[in-house]
Structure 1
Amino acid sequence: MKRALIIVDVQKDFCEGGSLAVDGGAAVASRLTDYVEQHGEEYGAIVTTQDWHIKPGDHFSETPDFVDSWPPHCVAGTQGAAFHPNLDVSSVDAMFRKGQYAAAYSGFEGHLAQAGDAQGTAEDSPSLGEWLSQRGVTDVDVAGIATDYCVRATALDAARAGFHTRVLKELCAGIADDLEPTYRELEAGGVALA
């Protein structure tokens, strides 16, 4: 068994003060830094995902419905798309960017970011699933922002891809006040909650 930690979208725009802030986002960034410091050696790989929007079409709206459309956020190359400063990414093995030209909630829609590529990724760079499989990863822990959107989508896709998947609830921040429906959906999809 080889386990990876997937840190989902812990970006400035999704934390307090950002354009699409989630309450508790900055605290999750700090808790993740502490967690990696204490448990990082338990993982064969640590990866991050980032929303990295260039022209995401209807995903951005001046009159968002907060279901399928949202205010502009995590625009490629802006400060809002950067990782929150409370998150120490020095132990991260790879970063995967998603959503350049369309909505993308799951990290498994992302591709490996290439150094110096302001547009996000090269089209031929490996997807998150390919990268993990190439390294013999069998199990993944998923944490980050937001529990009921990108964390949920990433975890469900991980389970569908055959990875033994856990969501680390205390290392996530959600949008909804009641996350029980999300937890039930995750468990129904074969995701363990820890």
Structure 2
Amino acid sequence: MRAILVVDMQEDFCPPNGSLAVEDGREITALINSLLPLFPVRLATQDWHPTDHVSFASNHAGKEPFVDFTTIINPENPEEKIETRLWPDHCVQGSPGAALIPELDTSLIQDYVKKGTHPQCETYSAFCSPFRKPRGFGDTGLARKLRDQGVDEVWVVGLAADYCVQSTAVDAAKEGFPTFIIEEGTKAVDPSEWEATGRMAVVEAGVKVVSIEGEEVKSIGWKQD
């Protein structure tokens, strides 16, 4: 059974007013809506940050969003540390910026996954945090949810290709699901970086990046208007 994961189609990630807007991010919504009915399992994810989230530059004195980084420490293993980029405040729990954009047909969404809820852990993936020692800190329950519904194939669309889409797809593959990213169904924060390294990273992880015009998408019933 196939599942589609619609990643972070939220106001703060979309023009014209999003605090962390991805260029042309809103424009992929019509395609996503047309894909949703082709999948028996349909989930959407949301960044859902507390105000004191570690990824917000505003919570680090003298730090600037996009430019500066900080070190996050695994709450369950202080020896594991990860450098992460700092961002503007975005997708604060319950705020208008955290809402899914109204253009997304949420009547077709069956369930929701909230991520990035721990104040001291950046979480791009819809499955769990980036920490691996032990793996599973910040587990959202998504892998279990998919397995309980008999899912054996995962397709990923949404925002952004080089962050949350990439991490979600890679973790889906690590969980053993054959995984696909539909490239026209996503946009990147940094398109040049995605093309230079991001695409290769997901492919090396076992994810297939496919075109809406490719045979893989046609095989699930897609018909171009």
TM-score by shorter chain over 0.5: yes
Distance 1:160 1:71 in 2: 30
What letter matches 2:204 in structure 1? Answer: A
List per-residue Cα deviations over 1:18-57 (Å, max 9, x = no partner): 0000011111123212332xxx1x3220001100001453
What letter matches 1:60 in structure 2? Answer: F
Which residue is 1:51 aligned to?
Answer: 47
Distance 1:57 1:171 in 2: 28
Aligned residue for 1:152, secondary structure, equals helix
Distance 2:158 2:189 in 1: 12
Aligned residue for 2:54, secondary structure, equals helix
Unmatched segments (≥5 aa) in structure 2 = 59-63, 68-83, 130-138, 211-225
- State whether residues 140 and 163 of structure 1, in contact with CA within 8 Å, keep that contact through their aligned partners in structure 2: yes
Distance 1:45 1:156 in 2: 19
Aligned residue for 1:21, secondary structure, equals coil
1:132 pairs with 2:146: yes
Distance 1:161 1:78 in 2: 32
* CA 70–163 in structure 1, closer or farther in 2 if over 3 Å, else same: same
Distance 1:8 1:192 in 2: 17
1:142 pairs with 2:138: no
Distance 1:162 1:56 in 2: 34
What letter matches 1:191 in structure 2? Answer: V
Distance 1:173 1:59 in 2: 21
Distance 1:97 1:30 in 2: 23
Which residue is 1:6 aligned to?
Answer: 5
List per-residue Cα deviations over 1:76-118 (Å, max 9, x = no partner): 00110000111111111110000112311001129xxxxxxxx
What's the % identity of the aligned pairs?
A: 36
Instruction: State how many pairs are aligned.
Output: 175
Which residue is 1:107 aligned to?
Answer: 126
Q: Which has the larger radius of gyration?
A: 2
Aligned residue for 2:158, secondary structure, equals strand
Structure 1 residue 11: deviation in Å? 0.2
Which residue is 1:61 aligned to?
Answer: 57
- State whether residues 10 and 98 of structure 2, in contact with CA within 8 Å, keep that contact through their aligned partners in structure 1: yes
- State whether residues 56 and 99 of structure 1, in contact with CA within 8 Å, keep that contact through their aligned partners in structure 2: no
Structure 1 residue 137: deviation in Å? 0.4
* Stretches (4+) displaced over 3 A: none
Aligned residue for 1:103, secondary structure, equals coil
2:165 is aligned, of 147, 151, 154, to 151
* CA 56–185 in structure 1, closer or farther in 2 if over 3 Å, else same: farther
Distance 1:105 1:140 in 2: 17
Which residue is 1:184 aligned to?
Answer: 200
* CA 168–188 in structure 1, closer or farther in 2 if over 3 Å, else same: same
TM-score between the two structures when normalised by the length of structure 1: 0.85
Aligned residue for 1:141, secondary structure, equals strand
